[in-house]
Amino acid sequence: MRVLIIEDNADIASNIGDYCETRGWTADYAMDGLVGLHLAGTEPFDVIVLDLGLPALDGLELCRQLRARGRIETPVLMLTARDTLDDKLEGFRSGADDYLVKPFALQELAARVEALARRRRGSAGVLRVADLELDPGSLIARRAGQRLDLTPVGLRILRRLMEDSPNVITRSDLEEAVWKGEPPDEATLRSHIYHLRQAIDRPFSKPLLHTVHGIGYRLAADED
């Protein structure tokens, strides 16, 4: 997951970014509203963490301009020290999706970011893990913008792994999801996993499909 942190307090931004990276996410930073607006409008992010009080362009106006562009629907988690109901309503009216009052626990921030990312994946229909995406409707999979050539079984396996990412899927659960009541032998599943890995990982520098020995498989941007 890629998170844009727009926060002018360097210590707060660093703490959030460091915590994001411990979870295997990629954090990008902007220290003022104008830079944040530019990055949010030109780069793909899963969630934007946006401070309300920013130099150059405040968080409310940044969010309004972002939503005014129409096509930019990246979820926004707004951070602020203002905790009145009117302040929160103003934040939602500007286009924010969630609101977190300072000071906050990093665990809560991460939980809210994950919830926003899941909500976006569900509403958009397209499944995403890092730079890998799958449209369940068209059955088109791409990584880094490059279309992938997958078999029908490979597509079913990939969909199941993406739906539960970054969790581990046991072999039996994966077999049940893909083959329903007629699971194949273990060698067949291994063969399909091998060909799926060749398609989604081999041409790229960072692997996403990981084997959890003795248990099953997981799809994630990290190996932890």
Of the pLDDT bands very low, low, confident and very high (cuts 50, 70, 90), residue 223 is low
Which of these three, 124, 158, 185, is where a domain ends? 124
The count of domains in the chain is: 2
User: 30 or 86: whose pLDDT is higher?
Assistant: 30
Does one domain contain both 77 and 160? no
Does one domain contain both 107 and 200? no
φ/ψ bin of 217: left (φ > 0), alpha (ψ from -120 to 50), beta (otherwise):
beta
Which of these three, 124, 145, 163, is where a domain ends? 124
Sheet holding 169-170, edge to edge: 169-170, 216-219, 209-212
Which of these three, 124, 148, 177, is where a domain ends? 124
Q: Report the pLDDT averaged over residues 43-70.
A: 86
Does one domain contain both 107 and 180? no
Does one domain contain both 118 and 195? no
Residues in the chain: 224
Q: Is the dihedral of CA 198, 114, 30, 12 positive or negative?
A: negative
User: 121 or 52: whose pLDDT is higher?
Assistant: 52
119-174 confidence digits (pLDDT tens): 766 555 688 888 899 887 778 899 988 889 999 899 999 998 998 888 888 988 88
186-212 confidence digits (pLDDT tens): 789 999 999 999 999 998 989 999 999
* pLDDT for the residue 69: 63
Q: Is residue 204 part of a domain?
A: yes
Q: Find the domain containing 68 and state its range.
A: 2-124
Q: Report the pLDDT averaged over residues 23-41.
A: 91
* pLDDT for the residue 199: 95
Q: Above 60 in pLDDT, residue 62?
A: yes
Q: Report the pLDDT averaged over residues 71-75.
A: 73
Does one domain contain both 16 and 116? yes
